[in-house]
Amino acid sequence: MAALHNWLIDDAPASRFQARMGRSYGVMSRLIRNPLAVIGAIIISLLIITAIFAPWIATQSPLTQDLSGRLQPPSSDHWMGTDELGRDIWSRVVFGSRITLLIVTLVAVIAAPVGLLLGAVSGYFGGWADRILMGITDIFLSMPKLILALAFVAALGPGIENAVIAIAITTWPAYARIARAETLTFRNAEFVSAVQLQGASSARVIVGHILPLCSSSMIIRVTLDMAGIILTAAGLGFLGLGAQPPLPEWGAMISRGRTFILDQWWVATMPGFAIILVSLGFCFLGDGLRDVLDPKSEGK
Amino acid sequence: MTAISLTNLSVYYGETPTTHDVTFDIGKGESFALVGESGSGKSTILKAIAGLAPKWQGKISLLGTPRNHAIDPRVARQCQMVFQDPYGSLHPRKTIDATLSEPLAIHGIGDQNERVCAQMAAVGLDPRFRFRFPHQLSGGQRQRVAIARALMLEPQILLLDEPTSALDVSVQAEVLNLLKRLRHQHNLTYLLVTHNLAVVSFMCERLAVMKRGRIVEIATVEQLKQNTLEHDYSGELLRASASHLISAENPS
């Protein structure tokens, strides 16, 4: 163990592999020393574990109805009570984590790379490419997020896939703007000129030299945006345009519970807690990553 | 055989020409300096030769072949540039190893490990710096990395844009000695931009004095040392430089 530790923190690594491992080890150990990031990471890993092992964690099927036991308060049988059709809310919240995780991951995977690439291309080439791409970005930015998502879902039809597409369409412009702004700051830096002089193609300069500089701020921004994405997904679900019944989506569950909010508070509150907890987890993790992902902060 | 030949070169930033009809030839293996005050267009000429200032009229020939306006990979293997600021010319998120192997990867050259280690040894960098980031190195070490990077493609011409002006005096001497040694080892041609006349007399055989985008005089370094430069402006520059040296030695 001590040998491995010394190998990882070696001042003069002997190979590229050792250098890379040492760097990841440094990032990990700094992440562990950051309490907020640890709390965030624990919440997110809990979410992932819950999503993977949902059938074993849930006490019953999220879809089984029991009309004789409807709107029961929280008890030892039903930890979070039951809803208006007698379904166990705990089981529904547990299965709902799968939908939330799916939406968040898909949106991040679609929107972040698209925004990153468009922003970097726009900033790197400038001129007409920049004007056209940023014009399109401005059009998307000028419309309120939820309204735009609503319009897309209304056009494409309700459902999770369309909700994901709609949210992705509304989130990429912000990433494109950040990536462009960052690209402009290094566009004329001498290290970019140096690579150009070595004969590198534009694609190589953008992908190999500009994107790595934008990516850490992008990772942080995406992590912080996760909370917003969850809330937009929940909002779409609340309006009946996201996941369709009987799927246990958290926003849709709140929407159904709204009718009973004064007498049976748990129906809307429990999925609400889940949304708050997960959003908070992503925010903490994003903050922690911001402190850690800067190589200059090493050893401070 | 001339390494660099400029004929009536006028470089434009936008619509305004910054240099006017610059003409000179540099022989192969020669070390040539461009001197002049700030804004006289010395660095602009370097950028035009390298391909970073693509808007120019006239003719640039490298090793006998005329150069076109864009950056091109064939020229990259003949002619490389070392920038003034070693803090800005290295990618902050790439290790020294990544920075030095990038030109090899671009041109599909193998044996990356061996070549990177050999080049680091050639510029006097300790092998343990190989996987460090630029911010973990001193200014002089960074400039050595920048020189090593320029030499990775084994060019015959090196464009040096005030390579020591951002370094402190003791480190300047080390880097200048390194450049001098490398030139003799690889028979390199240097085009050096500087406003430090002491560097010129140490490094170069000939120099061109520039003023407001024009060359006013091309002289040998012996003329500089004997203070027999012909043009009025050259004499003025020499006196300004000398008084600067005296005031630096005896701060009153």
Residue A131's CATH number:
1.10.3720.10
| Low-confidence stretches of chain A (pLDDT beneath 70) | 294-300
Cα(A277)–Cα(A250) distance, integer angstroms: 12
How far apart CA A232 and CA A163 sit, in angstroms, is: 9
Number of C-alpha atoms within 13 angstroms, CB side, residue A254?
19
pLDDT of residue A297: 56
Q: Give Cβ neighbours of residue A53 (< 8 Å, ≥ 6 apart).
A: none
Angstrom distance (rounded) from CA B91 to CA B134: 8
Give the Cα separation of A87 and A109 in Å (integer).
33
Q: Which of A12, A22, A296 sits opposite B128 (nearest CB)?
A: A12
Cα-Cα-Cα-Cα dihedral sign, residues A12, A18, A24, A30? negative
Q: Which residue in B71, B85, B128 is closest to A196 by CB distance? A: B71
With beta carbons under 8 A apart, name residues in chain A contacting B81.
Answer: 193-194, 197
Domains of chain B, residue spans: 2-249
Distance from CA of A207 to the nearest CA of B (A): 13
CB B145 within 8 A of CB A29: no
CA–CA distance, B224 with B206 (Å, rounded to integer): 9
The shortest C-alpha distance from A110 to chain B (Å) reads: 25
Domain count, chain A: 1
CATH architecture of B2-249: 3-Layer(aba) Sandwich (3.40)
Strand partners, A88: A82
pLDDT at B245: 58
Per DSSP (E only), the strands in A179-296 are none
Q: Which of residues 152-211 of B touch A (CB under 8 A)?
A: 153
Whether A110 maps to a domain, the answer reads yes
Per-residue tens of pLDDT for chain B, all 252 residues: 789 999 999 998 888 888 888 999 999 999 999 998 888 888 899 999 998 888 899 999 999 888 888 888 888 899 999 998 888 899 988 999 999 999 999 999 888 989 999 999 999 999 888 888 898 899 999 999 999 999 999 999 999 999 888 888 888 999 999 999 999 999 999 999 988 888 898 999 999 999 888 899 899 988 888 888 888 888 888 888 776 655 555 544
Enumerate the residues of chain B whose CB falls inside 8 A of the CB of residue A209.
91, 94
Q: Which residues, 6 or more positions from A101, have their beta carbon under 8 angstroms from its beta carbon?
A: A47, A48, A51
pLDDT of residue A299: 44
d(CA A23, CA B132): 10
* The pair of three-digit structure tokens given for residue B38, joined into one six-digit string: 């700030």
B130's CB contacts (< 8 A; 6+ apart) are A12, A13, B95, B96, B97, B116, B117, B120
- Smallest CA–CA distance, residue B73 to chain A, in Å, is 4
- Supply the ipTM of this predicted assembly: 0.87
Residue A161 inside a domain? The answer is yes
Domain that holds residue A180: 85-297
Is A101 a member of any domain?
yes
Q: What is the pLDDT of residue B143?
A: 93
Measured CA to CA in angstroms, residue A289 lies from A9, A16, A141 at distances of 21, 24, 26
Tokens of A50: 């819950």
The predicted structure's pLDDT at residue A295: 57
> Is residue A122 one of the residues assigned to a domain?
yes
Give the pLDDT of residue A300. 41
Contacts of A193 in chain B (CB under 8 A): 52, 81, 83, 89
* Complete DSSP assignment for B87-127: TTSS-TTS-HHHHHHHHHHHTT---HHHHHHHHHHHTT--G
pLDDT computed for residue B119 by the predictor: 93
Residues of A near B (Cβ–Cβ under 8 Å) read 11-13, 16, 18-19, 22, 189-191, 193-200, 204, 208-209, 212-213, 295-296
| CA-based nearest residue in chain A for residue B88 | A190
For A200, name the nearest residue in chain B, comparing CA atoms only.
B106
pTM of the model: 0.81
Shortest Cα–Cα distance, B251 to chain A (Å)? 35
- Contact assignment for B73 to A12 by CB distance below 8 Å: no
Between B77, B102, B153, which is nearest A195 by CB? B102
Assigned domain for A34 exists: no
Tens of pLDDT along A72-90?
Answer: 888 888 888 888 888 899 9
| Integer angstrom CA distances of residue A282 from A51, A94, A166, A222, A236 | 16, 18, 21, 9, 20
Cα first-last separation, chain B: 50
Phi-psi region of B39 (alpha: psi -120 to 50; beta: other; left: phi over 0): left
In a domain, A206, yes or no: yes
